[in-house]
Structure 1
Amino acid sequence: MKKSIYSQLLAWSILLLAGGCIDPYRPPEVTSPGSYLVVSGFFNSAPSTKTSIQLSRTQNLTDTKAPTVETKAQVSIESSSNASYKLQEESGGVYTLSGVVPSQNETYRLRIRTAQGAEYLSEFVPVNTTPPIDSVSWQIQSDGIQINVNTHDPTNKTRYYRWEFDEAWEYVAAYQSSLELKNNQLVDRTENVYRCWGSYIDRTIQLSSSIRLSQDVISQRPLRFIPSSSIKLGIKYSIQVKQTALSEPAFSYYEQLAKITQNVGSIFDPQPSMVIGNIHPVANSNELVMGFFRVGTVETKRLFIRRAQIPPWQIFTGNGSCLIDTLSLSDIREYQPAVISPFDMGLYLTTSFDCVDCRLKGGVTKRPDYWDQ
């Protein structure tokens, strides 16, 4: 009996040790030196909005440099009635088109010819008109703020939706500095670095569909959660939500892309696989192209949340560790601290720079144009 138990323990030990010796999986598609075209953007049918198409190249997972942009390409949008609109190249591999409004009765495709002569075509796609956002709502929860989006299409034609958002928030440094050291002299600070605005652009893929519902209604779709301790809630917070109607193929493309890029992390998540868009090479059918060409409109809505509207939560600003010292001018010249203001008898209040300069927490001092709404 003891021998049997010992044999089982030995077998399990061998299995565990063997399991620890696993070589990383590096398929050829991940480690190959080749790169593939990446197409980002869509044909915006809003009359006053510029269309932007960005071209870049994929890179290996081990690469640390920014992706290479595709410059000097010929990019155009073609209609099913043989009209063609050439996009102009701007900086960073971005190609733009202004003053062209697509017709609801037409379909359109994207044509790309690179400087190396490779040509790519998208499939013809219809114009998807996005219904307005009904509201961007928020609810107070025990540990933060939940932001949701609501929309509907009374014609029951949209059914597939995507959302993106950008955030901004106001915050201040621990102390307001009136002096700074320049050329070993204390002079009046010319730039106010006490109040800043932080920002963030969401890059995740957020989708929802009403295809299984009798009515084309999206109600209280969770979009963003902000913890109660976040600095974003310290003074004033803003979120701008962008809503786009998708075709069924576009929705399927982004759904699969989200699964392999946002839900990978355990053995129960979807495993990496190839996601095929609607853009294809003309000559080499085996070449991969990343991206999905779309035509349509974007609806936006902005929400503000002010400090007075939420519970008296303890906001983590990072200012709690800011300490003040009193130094003479000679000490200031030697130790180079941040100077807050004069104190007494030739001494000055000083602290660390991150306690007086809000820009060191990633923000900018320029107030957004929309902030007083």
Structure 2
Amino acid sequence: MLKRLIYLLLLIPLSCIDPYQVEVPEGEQLLIVEGTITSGPGPHAITLTRSATYGSDYEGFIRPVQRAIVSLRDDQGGTVLLTESQTAKGSYFTDAAFRAEVGRTYTLLIQTSDGKLYSSAPEKVAAVPELKNLGFRTVVIEQDGGENPKSGIQLIAEVDDPIEENNFYYWRTGPAVYILETRPDLYTPPISPTNPNPIPQPKPCCVYCFRTEISDNRSIFVETDDSFNGLTTYLPAAFVADDGMRFVNKFRIDVRQLGISQDAYRFLRLVQQQTETSGSIFDPPPATIRGNMFSLDDPKEVVLGYFIAAGESTQRIYVNKSELTFQQNRAIIPDDCREVEGANFDPPADWKP
């Protein structure tokens, strides 16, 4: 039987398969404009990048746009020139003294290094109701497959909405500061050719530091007062996840409440809807969301992003670990806390819990 099988296999013709070469043309490089100016303190940033039409998930397809001329023009003819950052490529900043004025209208103008001209539609700075108070509630999110639940805090904005106008709200988080606790008593030098078997070498200092970090909260929190016009209400403004370090001791964060235009609200709401799709067959199909930017040279050119001009009201909140109802696994850092990026032994000058 085995011999017969071998014989049959020998009768089967064998051949090589040539690989099929697929040439995929690179998509059109689209200009993406992201930036907000507010009535709050500067500097304010505008970021310019270019991305292929088939998305930004592929490494190398997002490229910063450098050496551009970026300026703001107001409705009274005043012009403010932005300066490109030396470290953050493609980011352009106003000076720290610049604040957008409520009631004024601003236009963003861009000239790229190859001479192409772009402009935003005029954006009027809306007055923003005061962010009266900032609270929080703890959130625990159960995970599938028996994994440890995720947890964090939902920041809640208390707003006294004025009755005489239609308001559109947008919340952004500012820098966060927290007391970082590490374990220098567990320090062991890294393995190296000269030290293949390192032994523990506890450090005498330091356990406690103050660490500053820029929030990576990518969720969009926007709201219109259609259902609470003229009332005091409480609205979700941000979510901060527990990473095993932030809430071990004391945590502080600023929340900026922005008053935006109706068009800006519609744009952000569409982006929010697309980013929060669940992946089911009932989700709306993804689509290119056009903002308020356009080319002055070619009206048919697609420009992505939105230039926002907004009024700003800010509140700060401190959170103690004793106020939380969740207990995330604590991150162990076996080193001097001053060795952690963004950490310093001395507290910030405005640390006043």
TM-score tier by shorter-chain length is 0.7 to 0.9
Identity across matched positions, percent: 21
Secondary structure of the 1:63 match is: coil
Identify the range of structure 1 (57-66 vs 286-295) with the bigger mean alpha-carbon deviation. 57-66
Residue identity in the other structure for 1:152: D
Deviations along 1:287-308, one digit per CA (max 9) or x if unpaired, are 1111212223322211111123
Q: 2:181: which partner in 1?
A: 172
Q: 2:133 touches 2:315 (CA, 8 Å); kept in 1?
A: yes
Q: 2:168: which partner in 1?
A: 160
Q: 1:116: which partner in 2?
A: 114
Q: 1:219: which partner in 2?
A: 234
2:302 aligned with 1:293: no
Q: 2:94: which partner in 1?
A: 97
Q: 2:49: which partner in 1?
A: 56
Identify the range of structure 1 (180-189 vs 137-146) with the bigger mean alpha-carbon deviation. 180-189
Secondary structure of the 2:329 match is: coil
Q: 2:272: which partner in 1?
A: 258
Q: 1:39: which partner in 2?
A: 33
Distance, in Å, in 2 between the alignment partners of 1:142 and 1:259 is 23
Identify the range of structure 1 (102-111 vs 33-42) with the bigger mean alpha-carbon deviation. 102-111
Secondary structure of the 2:288 match is: coil
2:330 aligned with 1:317: yes
Distance, in Å, in 2 between the alignment partners of 1:296 and 1:222 is 16
> 1:197: Cα distance to partner?
3.5
Deviations along 1:93-130, one digit per CA (max 9) or x if unpaired, are 22222345545454221111111111111111211222
Residue identity in the other structure for 2:270: Q
| Runs of 4+ in structure 1 over 6 Å off | 141-144, 178-188, 359-363
Q: 1:329: which partner in 2?
A: none
Distance, in Å, in 2 between the alignment partners of 1:142 and 1:81 is 50
> 1:247: Cα distance to partner?
0.8
Q: 1:197 touches 1:367 (CA, 8 Å); kept in 2?
A: no
Q: Give 1:123-134 correspondences, 5 Å limit.
A: 123-134=121-132
Distance, in Å, in 2 between the alignment partners of 1:154 and 1:248 is 16
Distance, in Å, in 2 between the alignment partners of 1:104 and 1:64 is 40
Identify the range of structure 1 (159-168 vs 193-202) with the bigger mean alpha-carbon deviation. 193-202
Q: 1:210 touches 1:218 (CA, 8 Å); kept in 2?
A: no
Identify the range of structure 1 (301-310 vs 80-89) with the bigger mean alpha-carbon deviation. 80-89
> 1:43: Cα distance to partner?
2.8
Q: 1:264 touches 1:271 (CA, 8 Å); kept in 2?
A: no
Secondary structure of the 1:233 match is: coil
Q: Residues 316 and 110 (structure 1 numbering): CA distance in 2 closer, same or farther, change over 3 Å?
A: same
Q: 2:19: which partner in 1?
A: none
> 1:165: Cα distance to partner?
1.8
Q: 1:231 touches 1:316 (CA, 8 Å); kept in 2?
A: no
Task: Please give the root-mean-square deviation of Cα atoms over the aligned residues, in Å.
Answer: 3.6
Counterpart pick for 1:82 among 73, 77, 84: 77
Residue identity in the other structure for 2:162: P
Secondary structure of the 2:294 match is: strand
Residue identity in the other structure for 2:132: D
> 1:64: Cα distance to partner?
1.5
Q: Residues 216 and 81 (structure 1 numbering): CA distance in 2 closer, same or farther, change over 3 Å?
A: farther
Q: What count of residue pairs does the alignment treat as equivalent? A: 307
Q: 1:169 touches 1:232 (CA, 8 Å); kept in 2?
A: yes
Distance, in Å, in 1 between the alignment partners of 2:112 and 2:275 is 27
Secondary structure of the 1:293 match is: strand
Secondary structure of the 1:128 match is: coil
Distance, in Å, in 2 between the alignment partners of 1:37 and 1:287 is 9
Normalised to the residue count of structure 2, the TM-score between the two structures is: 0.73
Counterpart pick for 2:216 among 201, 214, 217: 201
Q: 1:175 touches 1:194 (CA, 8 Å); kept in 2?
A: no
> 1:212: Cα distance to partner?
3.4
* Higher-RCO chain (CA-CA 8 Å, sequence separation at least 6): 2
